[in-house]
Amino acid sequence: MDPSPEQVFEELTSLVARIRRSAASSASEADLAALETLAQAAADHGRRLHERLDAMTDALATAQQLLAEVSVRDGLTGLHNRR
């Protein structure tokens, strides 16, 4: 299971703090690899969130279209019933 965005942020913040405490030139390969992994996880989360937002936007547009169609149909039915 993927870590939550909050977990990724906490791990990334902790790792950056560790790297800052050590001289930049003495950052361990493990820390740099972990930083790269976390950066990739953050990018993946961002992509998934963007995909979800796109899907929700599409669903909202569909719902608005259906609502407009129902509203028009109800309006036409109302006109027909008045005759």
Would the pTM count as exceeding 0.85? no
Q: How far apart are CA 29 and CA 41, in angstroms?
A: 18
Model pLDDT for residues 16-64, shown as the tens digit of each residue? 788 777 766 677 888 878 888 888 888 888 889 889 999 999 999 999 9
36 or 78, which is more confident? 36
Over 70: is that where the pLDDT of 79 sits? no
Q: How far apart are CA 24 and CA 70, in angstroms?
A: 63
Half-sphere exposure of 2 (CA within 13 A, CB side): 15
Domain count, the chain: 1
Query: Can you give the residue range of the structural domain that contains 47?
Result: 5-82
pLDDT at 17: 80
Q: What is the pLDDT of residue 52?
A: 93
Answer yes or no: is pLDDT of 5 > 80.
no
